[in-house]
Amino acid sequence: MADDKIPTEQWAQVVEETGGPVVYKKIPVQKPGPDEVLVNVKYSGVCHTDLHAMMGDWPLATKKPLVGGHEGAGVVVACGSMVNNLKVGDYAGIKWLNGSCLNCPYCENADEPLCQGALLSGYTVDGTFQQYAIAKAAHVAHIPRNCDLEAVAPILCAGITVYKGLKESGARPGQMVAIVGAGGGLGSCAVQYAKAMGLHVIAIDGGDEKGELCKRIGAAVYVDFLKSKDLVADVKSNTPDGLGPHAVLLLAVQEKPFQQASEYVRSRGSVVCIGLPAGAYLRAPVFDTVVRMISIKGSYVGNRVDTAEALDFYARGLIKVPYKSIGLSKLQDVYTLMRENKIVGRYVVDTSK
Ligand SMILES: [Zn+2]
Ligand SMILES: [Zn+2]
């Protein structure tokens, strides 16, 4: 039931016009519906998707005006009358998938991210760049009590996304996975999940700084595409039997790595696409794909079990996401840095500042 300490107004960053900028202002606090909870968002990670939502450059319309954000970590302050899986005071996470119908063939098969009635936080419904946000109770992430709410925030999109991709790859403990874009925000998360899952990681990215990061967080090998004269040969020669990695996780935002992956993946291996280079296409030789039995697939965000598992890896101390803190009032500065490609790691906004 609603607590009388919940204010009627709160600070939020609002996209009033497509293209931005975000406007820092006071807006009303919403009341949760019967199947919803109200979460006092303490921290929210900032994801590239949030910039796309502001710019309106994806082929999917956003709500307007819009409060962005989908990596929100906070505390439940009010529950709707039908909610019985959460209570006031619980730690809760609001992720990209805010809600789904729970009744369609996809939801029935635990493929809720594919639900045609899915609600997307910070995109089709207001998200976590506000102090109090609404989420469907069935989809709220249960954050273990021992987690630091600021540090755990990036797990709610970046962590779940790469963990799901690794599961989709089918790679088993002891096998090798190549992670393309390993030195980026998603990549550094993926390297740690892969290592925790017992996989050997071949990290692929550009530059010495990213190479040092990848090695430090557990990659067995680093292949620098800026220095390599033959990337396909270099990746294969870095596997003990020379046959290539069992799986490839593509987190890059350029198109070229998507074409190379099917050349160096091991026969019977899988290529998992996660990054979204604008307007890109996949191209692979049909002959090789057939006679080498290669699987090429996409992986989107995780379902509720993937969410719980990804958070559990984090709670056991196996994943550390490098992040910088900044006040919610400075969100536009983060977007500016993002546009200039100047962000290493992730920014997490503190909604109290
Ligand atoms: Zn995201
Ligand atoms: Zn559904």
E-state strands within 103-231: 119-120, 132-136, 141-142, 176-180, 200-205, 221-224
- CA dist 61 and 67 (Å) reads 14
**From ligand 2's centre to the CA of 114, what distance in Å?**
7
Q: What is the DSSP string of 11-46?
A: EEEEE-STT--EEEEEEEPPPP-TTEEEEEEEEEEE
pLDDT band at 4 (very low <50, low <70, confident <90, very high): low
CATH match of 160-298 with 3.40.50.300: no
CA distances 163 to 154, 262, 311, Å, are 13, 21, 10
Point out the least confidently predicted range of 30-39, 201-210, 228-237, 271-280.
271-280
Domain residue limits, the chain: 9-157+302-350, 160-298
Helix/strand/coil for 156 = helix
Q: Which residue has the higher pLDDT, 214 or 322?
A: 214
Q: Find the ligand nearest to 112 CA.
A: 2
Q: Are 247 and 273 in contact (CB under 8 A)?
A: no
**From ligand 1's centre to the CA of 158, what distance in Å?**
6
Q: What is the residue-averaged pLDDT of the chain? A: 94
pLDDT of residue 117: 95
- Above pLDDT 90, what percent of the chain? 85
Q: Are 251 and 298 in contact (CB under 8 A)?
A: no
**From ligand 1's centre to the CA of 256, what distance in Å?**
23
Cα 209 from chain centre: 23
Q: How many other C-beta atoms can be found within 10 angstroms of the C-beta atom of residue 69?
A: 33
Mean pLDDT of 109-135: 97
Point out the least confidently predicted range of 123-132, 213-222, 305-314, 342-351.
342-351
pLDDT band at 227 (very low <50, low <70, confident <90, very high): very high
**From ligand 1's centre to the CA of 49, what distance in Å?**
5
pLDDT band at 226 (very low <50, low <70, confident <90, very high): very high
pLDDT digits (tens, 9 = 90+) for 73-94: 999 999 999 999 999 999 999 9
Q: Find the ligand nearest to 108 CA.
A: 2
pLDDT of residue 3: 55
Q: Find the ligand nearest to 72 CA.
A: 1
- CA dist 215 and 201 (Å) reads 10
Q: Which residues neighbour ligand 2 (ion) by CB within 5 Å?
A: 100-101, 104, 107, 115
Q: What is the DSSP string of 173-205?
A: TT-EEEEETTTSHHHHHHHHHHHHTT-EEEEEE
Mean pLDDT of 9-23: 95
Q: Are 258 and 234 in contact (CB under 8 A)?
A: no
* Matching residue, tokens 């740690």: 192
pLDDT of residue 257: 84
**From ligand 2's centre to the CA of 74, what distance in Å?**
26
pLDDT digits (tens, 9 = 90+) for 245-268: 999 999 987 888 888 999 999 999
**From ligand 1's centre to the CA of 55, what distance in Å?**
15
- CA dist 297 and 304 (Å) reads 21
**From ligand 1's centre to the CA of 48, what distance in Å?**
6
Topology of domain 9-157+302-350, per CATH?
A: Quinone Oxidoreductase; Chain A, domain 1 (3.90.180)
